[in-house]
């Protein structure tokens, strides 16, 4: 895949916004670091597939990860070329795929702008929202301590969130290498797409590690994790019922409410090594 930046300036991911600060019953001039939010259009072989509001950072990872989690490609090498084109209206990610891959998205093209991080906005049919995800037949095992260690490592790598306190993060952790990659975005789906692109563009499979999330775990995030082949997803927040059902169906170990030394396992606990005490009400 060849990358090329064209057009105007890409805006910074964080800007300083002036504000009035009310403290101790007094107002004073102040400023706060806030994340930028930009319309980003994905076009494949000249046709717009989707428009998302996202943080303008890690755009090549975003393009590759989005194409992979949408099921348009299997690996980044299938993107023959990629152009990043900035304008006053937003940023266009122009990707070119082999002709047989370009036809894959014709039946489910999304061309409507959606709110930040909405994974299903603009989808033209209800069937698309429930499209099947692959089964993750992976025998990886993780110690309970690994869950705690992985989630504890995530905050220090959330650079944009330390500045703004308003962005989501997705990370990838392995027992051998620790926290390998972290991507951030105002949209939780966007952060995971960027992580997907970063991992696969880097040539390292997510098959033997943990995908870490700072958001709730909804069905769209499980769909994306399954397409990555990730055996386990760990999140700070709770999952939705639909997310739990899909994780169970896809063979993904879903760990949530992972805070401090505690966490809850909702599906496929066999991947987490350790004895389970059964409480009887």
**What residues have CB less than 8 Å from 243, skipping those under 6 apart?**
216, 217, 218, 219, 221, 222, 254
Supply 122's token pair.
Answer: 């603009």
On whether the CB atoms of residues 62 and 70 are closer than 8 A, the answer is no
Task: Kindly list the distances between the CA atom of residue 33 and the CA atoms of 12, 16, 17, 160, in Å, as whole numbers in the listed order.
Answer: 12, 5, 6, 9
Q: Can you tell me the distance from the alpha carbon of 117 to that of 204, in angstroms, rounded to the nearest whole number?
A: 26
Of 85, 122, 114, 102, nearest to 44 by C-alpha is 102
On whether the CB atoms of residues 221 and 242 are closer than 8 A, the answer is no
Of 75, 111, 106, 80, nearest to 4 by C-alpha is 80
Pairing of β 81-86 and β 262-267: unpaired
Residue 118 appears among annotated catalytic residues: yes
Of 226, 255, 57, 249, nearest to 147 by C-alpha is 255
Q: Can you tell me the distance from the alpha carbon of 257 to that of 155, in angstroms, rounded to the nearest whole number?
A: 15
Given the residues 118, 121, 234, 250, select the one marked as catalytic.
Answer: 118
Three-state secondary-structure class, residue 117:
coil
Give the residue carrying structure tokens 């930028």. 36
Task: Kindly list the distances between the CA atom of residue 227 and the CA atoms of 27, 55, 143, 219, in Å, as whole numbers in the listed order.
Answer: 50, 23, 24, 13
Catalytic residues: 118
């Amino acid at each position: 895949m060849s990358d090329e930046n064209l057009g105007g300036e890409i805006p910074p991911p964080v800007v300083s916004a002036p504000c009035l600060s009310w403290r101790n019953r007094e107002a004073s001039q102040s400023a706060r670091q806030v994340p930028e939010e930009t319309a980003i259009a994905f076009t494949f072989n000249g046709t717009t597939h989707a428009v998302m509001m996202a943080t303008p950072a890690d755009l090549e990872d975003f393009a590759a990860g989005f194409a992979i989690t949408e099921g348009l490609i299997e690996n980044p090498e299938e993107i023959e070329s990629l152009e990043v084109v900035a304008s006053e209206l937003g940023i266009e990610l122009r990707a070119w795929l082999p002709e047989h891959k370009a036809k894959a998205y014709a039946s489910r093209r999304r061309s409507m702008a959606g709110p930040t991080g909405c994974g299903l906005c603009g989808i033209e049919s209800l069937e698309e929202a429930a499209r099947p995800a692959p089964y993750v037949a992976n025998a990886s095992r993780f110690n309970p301590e690994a869950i705690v260690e992985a989630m504890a490592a995530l905050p220090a790598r959330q650079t944009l969130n330390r500045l703004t306190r308003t962005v989501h993060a997705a990370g990838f952790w392995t027992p051998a290498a620790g926290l390998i990659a972290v991507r951030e975005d105002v949209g939780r789906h966007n952060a995971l797409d960027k992580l997907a692109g970063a991992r696969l563009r880097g040539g390292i499979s997510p098959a033997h590690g943990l995908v870490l999330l700072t958001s709730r775990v909804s069905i769209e995030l499980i769909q994306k994790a399954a397409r990555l082949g990730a055996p386990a997803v760990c999140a700070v927040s709770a999952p939705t019922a639909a997310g739990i059902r899909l994780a169970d169906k896809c063979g993904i170990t879903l760990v949530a409410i992972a805070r401090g030394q505690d966490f809850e396992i909702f599906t496929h606990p066999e991947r987490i090594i350790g004895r389970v005490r059964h409480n009887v009400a």
